[in-house]
Chains A and B, each alone.
Chain A
Amino acid sequence: MIKKEMVRVESSSLVARDTVKMVLENEYISRLAVPGQFLHVEAAGHTLRRPISIADADREIGTVTIIFRVTGSGTKQLASCQPGMTLTVLGPNGNGFPFMQAGSRVLLIGGGIGVPPLYYLGRSLAVKPCTVKAILGFQSAADVFYEKEFREFAGTVIVTNDGSFGEKGLVTDVIEQAGSFDYYYTCGPTPMLQAVTRKLKRKPGFVSMEEYMGCGVGACFACAIPARDGGYKKICKDGPVFPAEEVRL
């Protein structure tokens, strides 16, 4: 269940341009967090919390990892937090990725700051065991992170918009290279999610979505989006993960 928890910053490091990896100590959240969930993180001096997806969790030592991009004053403030400092988070929030049965072949398709939740997911699927492949897209070589980490459990293709690292182009340009698979999971900017779900419309898949949030718990309707059935979904509470056919991107 979601709770307001204090977390202690264990470490903080830059993994790519403007991209910060932070390991947070909290026994409760590390125990409950499943891939695809997020934390609603306090940024001191800011009215709204920042929704940041969970990139990994370690139940044994009681830590949870977040990776976020510094895009404004809130994430800049967060990035300035030093090891030993504490912050409050609401979490774990939302619903995670549904797991497929052992033996499935899954494809992970991540773009930019949408890559982190797929790491925790892929790592967890690989031990089921599932066959995991990954396509990770970034703007440029300076933005690439976690290539080595993904390769530990997944055949991985890196693609950059400008071709400065890996293949040149968009994630959808290299999907064929992944070969056959049973399910896909994707997270990234909306135009990428649109392109991926269009290209893979015959395949079952799950998308993880991002939106500006208010409360982060489902009360304020800031992140409500239209659903295919004519209703709506709250990204924070009903998502952030949805079956690809359920939401209108």
Chain B
Amino acid sequence: MTNLAVKLPGLSLKNPVMPASGCFGFGREYSKFYDLGKLGAVIIKAATGSELFGNPTPRVAETPSGMLNAIGLQNPGVEKIIEHELPFLSQCEIPVIANVAGSIIDEYEMVAKAFNQTDMVNALELNISCPNVKQGGMQFGTDPKMAAMVTERVKRVSNLPVYVKLSPNVTDIKKMAKAVEAAGADGISMINTLTGMQIDLKSRKPLLANQTGGLSGPAIKPVAIRMIDEVKQHVSIPIIGMGGISSAEDVLEFLLAGADAVAVGTANFQNPLICPEIIEELPGVLHRFGFDSVADAVGKGGSHAHV
């Protein structure tokens, strides 16, 4: 029997697969396709202090092997999320990771406090890497000092474990990872989307109303793998890996690079059943490549592996 269970700070996962923040709403829509209880956990869409309406449309554009999005953190605000969305997820009996965003550090604190006061959230994911909002978001994720500061401030008000979601739009991801670890992060999520642009040939204007957007999907998987491989050598806190995962083989590749668990994002759009399908196939794939458990495979590949 292949053991898929994963233990992470604050999270007992029956398997390492969870939908990524922003690609799964608050779960309701996908619960029509399958029992969410099959998932390792769910990472809900980013919450801000008050309601955000996001960017004008078009907000998405397809790219080779991926897509750009510039939703702009649209969400009903933390209070409404706690009141109207979390009770539904609580019934599903899976760990819930709440993605926390803000335009100033006070807002991150306020949102984190609100989630701490409920018993419906198991961990926080700090979104310091959204490329689609003018204030906050990525500005915290590209400066190690700022990233450390927001992590520290949120840790101070939170009993929940804090995973910091890193931006790939930096020259040295190790510095970012080390800075948030030193500031008390319990784990790292990586990677968020890469900033990109696509120009419409007819209008000669960017396809997205926001002009730039975040690139996701299989196109960014090698970037994610390289960055996890690099960060794993320099931190001792666990990593939730994400970026273009669309198969059980992809999951194994992330585990080998050093991820302890994984999140699936864009692939949900093509196949709403992708998460349960991957979970079903994972034992066979692990076995085929010589592993008895998920934990066995973590960090067993990549540039520093002795194989």
Contacts and interface: CB of A to CB of B under 8 A. Distances in A.
B91 to A, nearest CB: 18
B59 A222 contact: yes
Contact of B269 (A1, A3, A220, A237): A220
A215 B58 CA distance: 14
Interface stretch (B61-69, B184-192, B231-239, B251-259): B61-69
A248 B268 CA distance: 29
Interface in A194-249: 211-226, 232, 237
A212 B57 contact: yes
A207 to B, nearest CB: 15
B265 to A, nearest CB: 10
Contacts of B45: 221
Interface stretch (A7-15, A40-48, A103-111, A147-155): A40-48
A211 B269 contact: no
A91 B255 CA distance: 34
B59 A219 contact: no
B23 interface: yes
Interface residues of B, number: 34
A167 B259 CA distance: 64
Contacts of A225: 57
A221 B71 contact: yes
Nearest to B267: A47
A217 B29 contact: yes
Name the prevailing secondary structure of the A interface residues.
loop
A243 B180 CA distance: 49
Given A4-B273, A48-B62, A212-B59, A222 B268 contact: no
B135 to A, nearest CB: 19
| Residue from A2, A213, A220, A225 with most neighbouring chain B CB atoms (10 Å) | A220
Contacts of A219: 23-25, 28-30, 268
A121 interface: no
A48 B60 contact: yes
Interface in B42-92: 45, 53-54, 57-63, 65-67, 69, 71, 74
Contact of A216 (B23, B63, B266, B269): B269
A224 B54 contact: yes
B63 A220 contact: no
A218 B53 contact: no
A47 B269 contact: yes
Contact of B69 (A1, A214, A218): A214
B272 interface: yes
Given A42-B270, A232-B53, A47 B25 contact: no
B269 A48 contact: yes
Interface string A22-60: 000000000000000000001000111100000000000
B171 interface: no
A222 B58 CA distance: 7
B58 A226 contact: no
Contacts of B271: 4, 88
17 contacts: A1-B32, A2-B33, A42-B270, A46-B62, A47-B63, A47-B67, A49-B269, A212-B57, A212-B58, A213-B60, A214-B69, A217-B29, A218-B28, A220-B23, A220-B71, A222-B60, A232-B74
A-B CB proximity, top 8 nearest: A219-B25, A222-B60, A219-B29, A217-B29, A212-B58, A221-B74, A218-B29, A215-B269
